[in-house]
């Protein structure tokens, strides 16, 4: 495992600073160590207090890490370096140990508050800029360093060239602050190392345009981690940008901030795996349930489950080709995401009413099956296809909403049925939080039908 060190300030609110760096390192599979340069008291309203760590203690921290072969690092990043004295000692030891590093020139906290003394900017430019592998200013920081106003992409290019001439081997100007880019629905980072390259991603708009906290720290930490793992600058920057985009997408809305969630992608990937396995187990349960075939309609049955926060068919796992009766017994295709529009629409429609109800299956309609559902203690509702609006509304969105409204109870229905229409087979739909839970409900229904 590669080892990466962050040298910066502590954010007691947990959203930025070394806290964000360590979370990023862990999420990207590198071992993270930290050298604390300052302690801040901050929250979503700003920085209330800050205290620089004594320079001698910062020196001791770096030496402790670098003198131990087990944890000595291959790469580093710098964050909050409040004073000229602090910058001088950090530059001295980075040079001494020949540690390649990403320079994140932190001037202000995302929530507000100055994190660099005014007279320290020149020291940063003179001592750290010429020895860093890459510097990652946002637009306001690039303006301060270069002394140029940045209003558009051409200004950013001019600023990047000037910062490069000041000694930085490579410059990445983060484009999230460029109003024209945001208006175009994207945020473009500009890379310059003698040649220009642009990396874009969709701009993530939040209600009330809340301040995003920790994105800059997480980007420079992710870039450091990817460079430490041996990626070239462009590829490392692309990976870091995607990482931060995902972290903002899954960010937690706390107070008036959106705090980036560095483990969002890991959690989402893990959830997809759990969902797949849950649907597979549910299919096994259905196939092993005696007389389950009596519930399969002419169009076949399917069972699906959505990931947390599902937005599309591709977030729903189901059986490819449905579950159908054959001479050899019940046959089911493989389980995968995005293979069943029908069951996915049922689930997504129900999730609009309850995000926890992430699974559903369809079975045939009969008065006996509905009676068995009642005996199993399931809440039942229905909708009438004849009342469906002629156009502009998707059947399942409308049908589920109608059934929820028709129930007239605080709880949502477990079962929604309709009596069909011309060319439409009557159908019963069974909902639950997981596919296994839905399979258990089906088994209870079958038991009451056959006993």
Residue 202: which pLDDT band, with cuts at 50, 70 and 90?
Answer: low
Between 196 and 118, the higher pLDDT residue: 196
Q: Name the architecture of domain 268-450.
A: 3-Layer(aba) Sandwich (3.40)
Q: Chain-centre distance of CA 184, in angstroms?
A: 22
What CA–CA distances, in Å, run from 52 to 77, 84, 122?
Answer: 18, 12, 19
Assess contact for 37 and 128: CB atoms under 8 A.
no
Residue 208: which pLDDT band, with cuts at 50, 70 and 90?
Answer: low
Who contacts 371 (Cβ-Cβ below 8 Å, separation ≥6)? none
Tell whether the model's pLDDT for residue 129 goes beyond 90. Answer: yes
Tell me the percentage of the chain whose pLDDT exceeds 90.
75
Dihedral pair phi/psi, residue 435, rounded to 5°: -65, -40
Q: Name the architecture of domain 3-262.
A: 3-Layer(aba) Sandwich (3.40)
Assess contact for 237 and 229: CB atoms under 8 A.
no
Separation between Cα atoms, residue 231 and residue 342, nearest integer Å: 42
Between 298 and 210, the higher pLDDT residue: 298
Which residue, among 444, 1, 432, has the nearest Cα to 230 in the 3D structure?
1
Assess contact for 143 and 150: CB atoms under 8 A.
yes
Who contacts 377 (Cβ-Cβ below 8 Å, separation ≥6)? none
DSSP-derived 3-state class of residue 387: helix
Assess contact for 323 and 435: CB atoms under 8 A.
no
Q: What is the mean pLDDT of residues 30-42?
A: 96
pTM of the entire predicted model:
0.80
Instruction: Pull the structure tokens for residue 2.
Output: 């590669």
Separation between Cα atoms, residue 450 and residue 376, nearest integer Å: 13
Domain ranges of the chain: 3-262, 268-450
Q: What is the mean pLDDT of residues 397-414?
A: 84
Tell me the percentage of the chain whose pLDDT exceeds 70.
93
Separation between Cα atoms, residue 398 and residue 191, nearest integer Å: 48
For the four alpha carbons of 380, 384, 387 and 389, in that order, the dihedral sign comes to positive
């Amino acid at each position: 495992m590669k080892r990466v060190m962050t040298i910066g300030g502590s954010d007691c609110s947990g959203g930025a600073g070394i806290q964000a760096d360590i979370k990023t390192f862990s999420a990207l599979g590198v071992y993270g160590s930290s050298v604390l340069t300052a302690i801040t008291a901050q929250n979503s309203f700003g920085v209330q207090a800050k205290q620089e760590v004594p320079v001698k203690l910062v020196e001791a921290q770096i030496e402790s890490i670098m003198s131990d072969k087990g944890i000595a690092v291959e790469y580093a990043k710098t964050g909050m370096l409040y004073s000229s004295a602090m910058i001088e000692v950090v530059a001295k030891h980075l040079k001494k140990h020949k540690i390649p590093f990403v320079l994140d020139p932190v001037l202000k906290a995302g929530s507000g508050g100055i994190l660099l003394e005014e007279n320290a900017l020149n020291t940063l430019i003179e001592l750290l800029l010429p020895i860093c592998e890459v510097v990652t200013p946002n637009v306001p920081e690039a303006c301060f360093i270069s002394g140029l106003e940045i209003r558009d992409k051409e200004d950013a290019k001019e600023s990047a060239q000037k910062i490069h001439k000041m000694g930085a081997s490579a410059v990445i100007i983060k484009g999230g602050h460029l109003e024209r880019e945001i208006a175009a629905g994207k945020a473009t980072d500009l890379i310059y190392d003698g040649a220009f390259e642009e990396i874009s991603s969709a701009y993530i708009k939040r209600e009330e345009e809340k301040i995003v906290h920790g994105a800059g720290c997480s980007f420079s930490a992710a870039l450091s981690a990817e460079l430490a793992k041996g990626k070239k600058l462009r590829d490392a920057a692309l990976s870091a940008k995607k990482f931060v985009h995902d972290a903002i997408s899954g960010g937690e809305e706390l107070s008036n901030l959106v705090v980036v969630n560095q483990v969002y992608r890991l959690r989402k990937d893990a959830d997809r795996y759990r969902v797949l396995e849950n649907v597979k187990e549910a299919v096994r349960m259905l196939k092993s349930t005696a007389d389950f075939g009596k519930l399969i309609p002419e169009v076949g049955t399917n069972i699906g489950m959505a990931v947390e926060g599902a937005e599309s068919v591709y977030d729903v796992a189901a059986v490819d080709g449905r579950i159908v009766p054959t001479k050899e017994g019940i046959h089911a295709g493989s389980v995968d995401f995005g293979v069943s529009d029908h069951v996915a629409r049922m689930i997504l429609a129900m999730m609009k009413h309850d995000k926890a109800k992430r699974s559903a299956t369809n079975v045939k309609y009969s008065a006996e099956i509905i009676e068995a559902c009642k005996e199993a203690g399931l809440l039942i509702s229905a909708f009438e296809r004849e009342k469906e609006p002629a156009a502009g509304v998707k059947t399942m969105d409308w049908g589920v909403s109608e059934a929820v409204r028709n129930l007239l109870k605080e709880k949502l229905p477990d079962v929604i049925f309709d009596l069909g229409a011309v060319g439409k087979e009557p159908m019963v739909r069974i909902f639950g939080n997981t596919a296994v839970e839905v399979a258990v409900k089906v088994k209870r229904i079958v038991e009451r039908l056959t006993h």
